[in-house]
Structure 1
């Protein structure tokens, strides 16, 4: 079984104009980083013309599909029955995207099968983490 899950999703950018632009995005979960989820947007979908990715906790995403969650750079909340809003706060501004809730739930279920919630600590490589933190040899 692979230690990384990737899932493409269609995100809809919320803008001041009435029409929302659809953007491709990729959700990623890596068993080596069991507490984190990564959401990446390809270069053509960003203002900078380079891939942009955000990392945030799996718990934040899990909670946010059912009720508002987050107080920092990433916030997640339900929007009706079929969509979830992810807000990404940066110095340049706020990007808000809608993603189908069933796609997020499918991704979270796959992550749950790879690393059950509550068992994340069993997948941490503390030696590697300390080496990275202290700048030692790998």
Structure 2
């Protein structure tokens, strides 16, 4: 059963960018959950300049990372070993790595709001085959264009 209405949950917060050996740097961030993509959480980082970084992370991965080490490769999430009230989120690309910390209760509150809308295991009920195919075809079209043509 596909749901006909769309709901977006937006949650503004601050993540601390770990920048040893100096103190961490606070980064404004929006957590976003869209029922049209029920398995994912968007993280839109706004470092204060005219740039933004947008990551999509599996909602269940974020949830698991509240209580134990989760993820591998480009996304790793875990409670901070010396302070379980904090969660460490490591995001990696080939050219840069960011290690962020945030309060576990803040992340849990956001995730609880998303699970109140779509329970874990019910995500498939919200997927639209038409939406999924449109995304796949749009990505294929973008990949077929030359780099100069990309947005």
> What TM-score comes out, normalization by structure 2 length?
0.81
Aligned to 1:107: 110
Q: Deviations over 1:40-65 (max 9, x none)?
A: 111526xxx51101101001000001
Asked whether the equivalents of residues 6 and 36 of structure 2 are also in contact (C-alpha less than 8 Å), the reply is no
Aligned-residue CA RMSD (Å) = 1.7
* Secondary structure, aligned partner of 1:19: coil
Aligned to 1:13: 17
Aligned to 1:35: 39
Give the Cα–Cα distance (whole angstroms) in 2 for the partners of residues 43 and 105 of structure 1: 23
Q: How does 1:1-138 map to 2 (within 5 A)?
A: 3-44=7-48, 49-79=50-80, 80-134=83-137
| Number of residue-to-residue matches in the alignment | 132
Give the Cα–Cα distance (whole angstroms) in 1 for the partners of residues 19 and 75 of structure 2: 17
Asked whether the equivalents of residues 6 and 34 of structure 2 are also in contact (C-alpha less than 8 Å), the reply is no
Q: Which runs of 5+ in 2 are unaligned?
A: 139-151
Aligned to 2:141: none
